Structure 1
Amino acid sequence: MLIPQELLNKYGAETETYPSSHIIFHEGDTPKYYYQIVEGRIKLNHYNDEGKELIFAILEKGLSVCELLLFIDKTYPVNAKTFGECTVIKLSKKSFEKLLDENPQTSRDINKFISERLYYKYIMLQNNSSLRPHVRVKGALDYYKSFSDKTDKFSYEIPLTRQQLASLTALRVETVIRTVKKLEKEGVLKIINRKIFV
């Protein structure tokens, strides 16, 4: 967990369980809560003018959701939608600020987490500007593994379908499927029961 649940509870956090495909917040909403995933997964997405879904991230247990927007006066640029049933702990913005003020180590941990996330976002942006599909796909896989403490080769299961990888990298699904097979032949990843491991 990014912030221990006991500490969040101490400052008045509430735990909520949402059904599959529940929208926690919409693009354009004003951030009012710090959200942290207890169980399940949440995707951050946006729909372009043509109605095509673009996925920016898929967040798993222990991660926070768009916490950086609690530090600035901006609305959400994305939607947050659950994958399957999802349990989230949420803390009001005011209480979150108080928690950080009174717990400097937690504040440093949040700063480090945001910095790491931004670093890997820059790397992903660089990769997604490439015309080579294998650079885009490998960049997305590396980005997801960066949030895991599993560092051994083929120890981390990528929590994305081929369709989600396509949405994340702005590639066609067919291109992603071919690219994943190519990366497997090159020893970059392993496919076990149709799941991708890096």
Structure 2
Amino acid sequence: MVEEKTLRAYGAVEKYLAKGETLFLEGEMPVFYYQVLSGAMKMNNYNEKGNETIQAIFQPGQSFGEPAILGGFPFPANAEAIEDTRLICLEKNRFIEMLRAQPAICIELLRVISRRLQFKAMIAKEIGGHEAEHRILTLLHYLKAKAEAKGEFRIDITRQTIASLVGLRTETVIRAIKEMKKKGAIKVHNRKMYL
């Protein structure tokens, strides 16, 4: 989202996380702005039974955690590396300074946060009123549109991640995917899904 050279000009530093390593926990106050350089991060919560809900996944070029900085509230979720990940981190006061000095970055940040809100509204609607296949297809179409993919699109998230994103059990997702494959709604080759 923000060019790496711009972040470095404001004093940003790199941080490396191994797959499975936690960056911050739900309830902690933000100290840094984070942007993914390589790898991937997820923001998640666990209920009292230990079941995970994935709030979002962040790929290279994407930032996360900014609403907590801008709103002055604790992180609403944990952040965990889902593969070996390299981040660029900018101290929150320097981040605010950068936003004040660079209105174009503010506008882009508003666009990004607005798209996240759109995704949350879509997921809330899907979880509340639709069957498993519909929920999954809506998510897959959203991911394809977000990637601006033309033609066949490979889904690079696990069935467990899909389940966590749309409020289903992994077993339900597996059954629904088999059914969607039979109906021709998706293709599956070597355990990879295509839309």
Query: TM-score, normalized by length of structure 1?
Result: 0.91
Structure 1, residues 169-194: CA drift from partner, whole Å, max 9, x if none?
22122211121122234443322321
Aligned to 2:152: 154
Amino acid of the structure 2 residue aligned with 1:82 = A
Q: Distance in 2 between matches of 1:104 and 1:189?
A: 42
Aligned-partner SS, 2:41: strand
Matches within 5 A, 1:85-96: 85-96=84-95
Alpha carbons of 1:187 and 1:106: their partners in 2 closer, same or farther (altered >3 Å)? farther
Return closer, same or farther for 1:59/1:146 CA change in 2, 3 Å cut-off.
Answer: farther
Kindly indicate whether residue 175 of structure 2 is the aligned counterpart of residue 178 of structure 1. yes
Q: In structure 2, how many angstroms separate the alpha carbons of the residues matched to 1:147 and 1:3?
A: 18
Distance 1:9 1:84 in 2: 24
Matched, 1:191 2:167: no
Partner of 2:68: 69
Aligned length: 195
SS at match of 1:141: helix
- In structure 2, the partner of 1:142 is 141
Unaligned runs of 5+ in 2: none
Q: For residue 131 of structure 1, report the CA deviation from its aligned partner.
A: 4.1
Equivalent in the alignment of 2:81 = 82
TM value normalised by structure 2: 0.93
CA distance in 2, matches of 1:71, 1:124: 24
Cα offset for 1:146?
4.0
- After superposition, give the CA deviation of every residue in 1:146-174 in whole Å (9 maximum; x if it has no partner): 43232x1323x323211221222221222
CA distance in 2, matches of 1:187, 1:112: 34
Q: What stretches of structure 1 of length at least 5 have no aligned partner?
A: none
Cα shift readout 1:109-155 (whole Å, capped 9, x = no counterpart): 111111111112101110111241112212222333343232x1323
Match of 1:117 in 2: 116
**What is the RMSD of the two structures over their aligned residues, measured on CA atoms?**
1.5
